[in-house]
Amino acid sequence: MERIFSGIQPSGIPTLGNYLGAIRNWVRLQDDHDCLWCVVDLHAITAWQDPSALLEQSLEMAAVLLACGVDPMRHILFLQSSVRAHVQLAWIFNCVARLGWLNRMTQFKDKAGKDRENASCGLYVYPNLMAADIHAYHATRVPVGDDQRQHLELANDIAQKFNHDYGVEFFPTVQPLILGPAARVMSLRDGTKKMSKSDASDQSRINLNDDPEAIALKIRRAKTDPLPLPSEIDELAQRPETRNLVGIYAAMTDRDVGAVLKEHGGRGFGPFKAALTELIVEHLSPIASETRRFLNDRVALIDLLKKGADRAAAISDPIVSEAERLVGFVRVR
Ligand code: TRP
């Protein structure tokens, strides 16, 4: 079976967009892959994180993943900072990757913005750490959103240069599993912007821990237009907010947009929004209550994450040791 690695930042309760776009796909990939799911707290501190918030959010993200169906027995769930191999391999990769390569990374430019001089060095070498995450396990498949494609190309460039420089075939090529269009859940206030945890308006997103009343209110207030729902997919092109709601409905029922329009086309938004609310509530309520259950027993949660870290380290330690030997470090242990 192919080995999958993917990471998610502990940046607060995920949105419905994160769920449909990433987490739900992770859960499905578990059927026919060996998976490592990592809460990437080392990546998180490339931008300032309040320590107690980081701690809470890391546990929260682990709990959410478990609540969504990540299976910590058949697969591995762990926190990045709890497995040393990531940092050890990242240092080697800092010395393999070229400045020119990192200078081309569009995400650094976006995140550093105008105040580039004040960005952390960690933000700059973020992609090298991400490459280390994957290669420390010889993972070959990486489910990510489209925005991470360039980072995976860099991971392949690093593997290739390492293999070339040290005359080995050690790190395999990784294949991105770019997650499908169901992934593109947009803001409820503006159908042209992605639904985001960082949007100023909480009304723009559904959080995985929203209660039924909050969900109902947000969907009721979600921006639409005065026309009824269209019957043809083409007609969605000019109506981003409508397309978004129909897209969410389709993703949540595992149907295509055409099928949803067949059922709801020609009707007004009132009944459609009511049906959508019901769907979302039905889906998210068990996730919210399971998340709470995992968070309420911290000792058990931390124990589960320790077991995950031990199992992750058992895979990555020998791989990173071998990389260190190839580089020419004296192995004294
Ligand atoms: N950079 C990824 C993101 O922001 C998170 C991540 C870190 C990751 N390490 C990874 C994803 C390794 C896939 C594989 O979405």
Looking at residue 181, what is its pLDDT? 59
Q: What is the DSSP letter of 317?
A: H
Ligand 1 centroid to Cα of residue 6, in Å, is 6
What tokens were used for 178? 């770019």
Q: Give ligand 1 pocket residues (Cβ under 6 A).
A: 5-7, 9, 40, 43, 130, 133-134, 142, 144, 148
Looking at the fold, whether 154 and 28 belong to one and the same domain comes out as yes
Q: What is the DSSP letter of 1?
A: -
- Ligand 1 probe mutation, 3, 4, 38, most atoms within 8 A of CB: 38
Ligand 1 centroid to Cα of residue 103, in Å, is 19
pLDDT (tens place) for every residue of the chain, 333 residues total: 999 999 999 999 999 999 998 999 999 999 999 999 999 999 999 999 999 999 999 999 999 999 999 999 999 999 999 999 999 999 999 999 999 999 999 999 999 999 999 999 999 999 999 999 999 999 999 999 888 999 999 999 999 999 999 999 999 999 999 876 566 899 999 999 999 988 999 999 999 999 999 999 999 999 999 899 999 999 999 999 999 999 999 999 999 999 999 999 999 999 999 999 999 999 999 999 999 999 999 999 999 999 999 999 999 999 999 999 999 999 887
Residue nearest to atom 11 of ligand 1 (CA): 7
Count of structural domains, the chain: 2
Looking at residue 91, what is its pLDDT? 98
- Residue among 12, 67, 8 at smallest CA distance from 35: 8
Looking at the fold, whether 160 and 21 belong to one and the same domain comes out as yes
Looking at the fold, whether 137 and 34 belong to one and the same domain comes out as yes
Per the CB < 8 A criterion, the answer to whether 152 and 142 are in contact is yes
Looking at the fold, whether 287 and 302 belong to one and the same domain comes out as no
In a domain, 194, yes or no: no
Residue nearest to atom 8 of ligand 1 (CA): 7
Q: What is the DSSP string of 237-268?
A: TT-HHHHHHHHHHHHHHT--HHHHHHHHTTS-
Looking at residue 100, what is its pLDDT? 98
Angstrom distances, CA of residue 231 to CA of 5, 257, 259: 40, 10, 10
- Ligand 1 probe mutation, 6, 83, 89, most atoms within 8 A of CB: 6
The domain of 37 spans 3-183+297-327
Ligand 1 centroid to Cα of residue 81, in Å, is 14
Looking at the fold, whether 309 and 176 belong to one and the same domain comes out as yes
- In angstroms, the CA 211 to CA 284 distance is 9
**Ligand 1 atom nearest 129 alpha carbon:** 9
- Which CATH number do you get for residue 53? 3.40.50.620
In a domain, 27, yes or no: yes
In a domain, 31, yes or no: yes
Looking at the fold, whether 43 and 169 belong to one and the same domain comes out as yes
Angstrom distances, CA of residue 188 to CA of 79, 103, 184, 266: 32, 34, 12, 21
Ligand 1 centroid to Cα of residue 253, in Å, is 27
Looking at the fold, whether 227 and 309 belong to one and the same domain comes out as no
Looking at the fold, whether 45 and 135 belong to one and the same domain comes out as yes
In a domain, 16, yes or no: yes
Looking at the fold, whether 163 and 219 belong to one and the same domain comes out as no
The residues, ordered by sequence, that sit 6+ positions from 5 with a Cβ below 8 Å of its Cβ are 35, 36, 38, 133, 134, 137, 139, 141, 142
Per the CB < 8 A criterion, the answer to whether 186 and 240 are in contact is yes
- Residue among 89, 82, 3 at smallest CA distance from 39: 82
**Would you name the residues annotated as active-site residues?**
111, 194, 197
- In angstroms, the CA 32 to CA 76 distance is 14
The residues, ordered by sequence, that sit 6+ positions from 84 with a Cβ below 8 Å of its Cβ are 313
Per the CB < 8 A criterion, the answer to whether 3 and 44 are in contact is no
In a domain, 190, yes or no: no
In a domain, 220, yes or no: yes
Looking at residue 146, what is its pLDDT? 86
In a domain, 332, yes or no: no
Ligand 1 centroid to Cα of residue 39, in Å, is 9
Looking at the fold, whether 159 and 226 belong to one and the same domain comes out as no
What tokens were used for 27? 């859960």
What tokens were used for 181? 């269009």
Sheet holding 141-144: strands in order across? Answer: 76-79, 34-39, 3-8, 141-144, 175-178
In a domain, 196, yes or no: no
Looking at the fold, whether 252 and 150 belong to one and the same domain comes out as no
